[in-house]
C-alpha cells in the first residue's frame, strides 16, 4: 500500500442512473474503509453538475469547476446526458471538459466475461476471455475541430466540417501506454486498430508510430487490424484479443460492443487516466444515463462498482481492488443480477449481495 491513507474523492453522479449507480459504488467504498480497521479512508465531496444544473445555471459545471476538482485525489463519475439538453452540449460541458481539461489521455475499458452471466457469444471457454480496450482520450475524432457555416446561402446550403486531430505525440503516448499495459498481462499482445486505408493522414500517422514503437517491445506480440475487421474479430475470434488500442471514437464503439457481448453495457467499468498524475484521474461506468430505466431502481451497479475497483488500484490499494473484483465475480456467479442481465434483482439488492461477498473475501484473507 502507498503512504497515503486518506483520499479526497470528488463525486459527480451526473444524470439519470448515474445518480443511482454512484450511490452504490460509494456504499462499497464506505464499507471498505470501515472494514479496513482505520488503515485507510475516503472523504467524499459531491458536485451537483449535469443536465439539471445546466437548466438552472446555463452551464454543465461550475465556471471554476476544473480548479475545484484539481485538488482531489480522484473523481468518481456517474453518467451524463438527459432529454431536454442536446447531447453534444452535455457531453462537451461535463465529461469531455474534465477528460480534456485534465489531459486524461488514457481511457482503459476492461472487457470481462463474468461468471453466471449469459454472454451473447457462442464460445466454448467464455471465462478465459479477458481483454482491455485502450481508448485514446484526448484528441482524434473528439478534438472538437470544425464548424458550421454558409447558413446565409439559404435553406439546404449549410456546410459542417468535423476534423480529427492526430498528433505524433498523442499517438505515441497512447500506443506506448498500451505496450506497457500488455507487459503486465499474461498474453502480452497489443492490437492496434485504425482505418488507415480510408483515413490516409491521421491514421497512417498512427500506424507509422505503432510500427516504430513496437520495435521497442520485442517481447509483446502485435497485430494491426482495420476497425471493421476488428468488430468482426470481437465476435468471431475474441480469444485473439488482449490489449486493443484505438482512437477516441473507434475505441468507444468497440468497447461498447465488447461489454454488450459480455452481457450488458451495465457491467463495463472505465478509468480516464492522467498518466503523469499532474491532474486527478476520473473513474466512471462506460454506460450513459439511461433515461428509460432511470428512477426505477433497476440499474446495474456493477459498471460503477468495477470503476471504483479501478480507482482503488490507481490510488495504490491493489489488494483491495482485486478483492472488489472477486466480490463482483462472486455476486454474478450466485445469480444476483439486474434485469439487463436477465435477473430480477434491484440495484440495491445486487450491492447488498456484493457487500456480503466482499466481507467474506476479506475475512478469508489472513491479515499480515
- Contact status: 11 vs ligand GGG (CB under 6 A): no
Closest to ligand GGG by CB, 90 vs 331, is 90
Among 79, 220, 245, 353, binds ligand GGG (CB under 6 A): 79
Among 280, 285, 301, 306, binds ligand GGG (CB under 6 A): 285
Instruction: Find the shortest distance in angstroms from Cβ 260 to ligand GGG.
Output: 15
One of 20, 252, 340, 349 touching ligand GGG (CB under 6 A): 252
Lay out the site mask for ligand GGG across 81-100 (x = CB under 6 A, - = otherwise). Answer: x---------x---x-----
- Decide if residue 284 touches ligand GGG (CB under 6 A): yes
The whole-angstrom separation of Cα 341 and Cα 120 is: 11
**Distance separating alpha carbons of residues 184 and 24, to the nearest angstrom:** 30
> Given the complex with ligand GGG, which of 20 and 242 has the nearer CB atom?
20
Choices 153-161, 198-206, 282-290, 311-319 (CB under 6 A): range interacting with ligand GGG: 282-290
Q: Toward ligand GGG, which CB reaches closer, 91 or 348?
A: 91
Single residue of 288, 301, 306, 343 touching ligand GGG by CB under 6 A? 288
Does 20 contact ligand GGG by CB under 6 A?
no
Q: For ligand GGG, which stretch binds (CB under 6 A), given 4-12, 23-31, 202-210, 284-292? A: 284-292
Per rule CB under 6 A, is residue 253 in the interface with ligand GGG?
no
Q: How far is the CB of 207 from ligand GGG (least distance, A)?
A: 23
Tell me how many residues contact ligand GGG (CB under 6 A).
Answer: 10
- C-alpha grid cell, residue 261: 457481448
Residue 131 to residue 109: CA distance in whole angstroms: 9
Nearer to ligand GGG, 291 or 335 (CB): 291
| Alpha carbons 143 and 133: distance in angstroms, whole number | 20
Out of 29, 80, 133, 164, name the contact with ligand GGG by CB under 6 A. Answer: 80
Distance CA 196, CA 71 (A): 40
Site of grid cell 452481457: 263
Residue 231 in the binding site for ligand GGG (CB under 6 A): no
Applying CB under 6 A, which part among 47-55, 57-65, 76-84, 260-268 lies near ligand GGG? 76-84
* CB 99, min distance to ligand GGG, A: 8
Smallest distance, ligand GGG to C-beta of residue 18, A: 7
Min dist CB 284 to ligand GGG, Å, is 4
Closer to ligand GGG at the Cβ: 247 or 321?
247
Residue 230 to residue 234: CA distance in whole angstroms: 6
Which are the contacts of 153, defined by CB distance < 8 A and separation ≥ 6?
A: none
**Binding stretches for ligand GGG (CB under 6 A):** 79-81, 91, 95, 252, 284-285, 287-288
Amino acid at each position: 500500500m502507498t503512504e497515503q491513507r486518506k483520499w479526497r474523492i470528488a463525486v459527480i453522479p451526473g444524470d439519470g442512473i448515474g445518480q443511482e449507480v454512484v450511490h452504490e459504488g460509494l456504499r462499497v467504498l464506505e464499507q471498505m474503509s470501515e472494514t479496513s480497521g482505520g488503515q485507510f479512508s475516503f472523504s467524499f465531496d459531491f458536485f451537483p453538475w449535469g443536465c439539471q444544473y445546466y437548466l438552472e445555471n446555463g452551464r454543465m459545471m461550475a465556471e471554476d469547476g476544473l480548479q475545484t476538482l484539481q485538488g482531489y485525489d480522484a473523481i468518481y463519475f456517474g453518467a451524463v446526458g438527459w432529454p431536454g439538453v442536446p447531447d453534444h452540449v452535455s457531453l462537451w460541458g461535463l465529461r469531455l471538459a474534465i477528460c480534456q481539461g485534465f489531459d486524461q489521455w488514457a481511457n482503459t475499458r476492461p472487457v470481462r466475461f463474468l461468471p453466471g452471466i449469459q454472454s451473447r457469444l457462442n464460445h466454448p471457454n467464455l471465462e478465459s476471455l479477458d481483454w482491455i480496450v485502450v481508448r485514446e482520450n484526448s484528441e482524434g475524432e473528439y478534438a472538437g475541430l470544425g464548424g458550421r457555416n454558409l447558413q446565409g446561402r439559404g435553406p439546404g446550403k449549410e456546410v459542417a466540417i468535423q476534423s480529427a486531430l492526430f498528433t505524433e505525440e498523442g499517438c505515441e503516448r497512447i500506443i506506448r501506454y498500451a505496450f506497457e499495459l500488455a507487459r503486465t498481462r499474461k498474453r502480452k499482445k497489443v492490437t492496434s486498430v485504425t482505418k488507415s486505408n480510408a483515413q490516409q493522414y491521421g491514421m497512417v500517422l498512427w500506424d507509422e508510430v505503432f510500427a516504430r514503437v513496437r520495435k521497442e517491445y520485442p517481447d509483446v506480440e502485435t497485430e494491426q487490424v482495420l476497425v471493421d475487421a476488428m468488430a468482426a474479430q470481437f465476435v468471431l475470434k475474441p480469444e485473439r484479443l488482449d490489449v486493443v488500442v484505438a482512437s477516441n471514437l473507434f475505441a468507444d464503439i468497440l468497447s461498447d460492443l465488447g461489454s454488450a457481448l459480455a452481457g450488458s453495457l451495465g457491467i463495463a467499468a472505465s478509468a480516464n487516466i492522467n498518466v503523469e498524475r499532474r491532474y486527478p484521474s476520473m473513474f466512471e461506468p462506460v454506460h450513459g444515463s439511461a433515461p428509460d430505466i432511470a428512477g426505477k431502481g433497476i440499474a446495474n451497479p456493477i459498471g460503477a462498482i468495477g470503476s471504483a475497483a479501478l480507482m482503488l488500484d490507481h490510488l495504490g490499494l491493489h489488494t483491495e481492488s482485486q478483492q472488489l473484483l472477486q466480490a463482483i465475480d462472486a455476486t454474478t456467479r450466485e445469480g444476483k443480477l439486474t434485469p439487463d442481465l436477465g435477473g430480477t434483482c434491484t440495484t440495491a439488492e445486487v450491492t447488498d449481495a456484493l457487500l456480503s461477498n466482499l466481507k467474506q473475501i476479506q475475512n478469508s484473507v489472513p491479515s499480515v
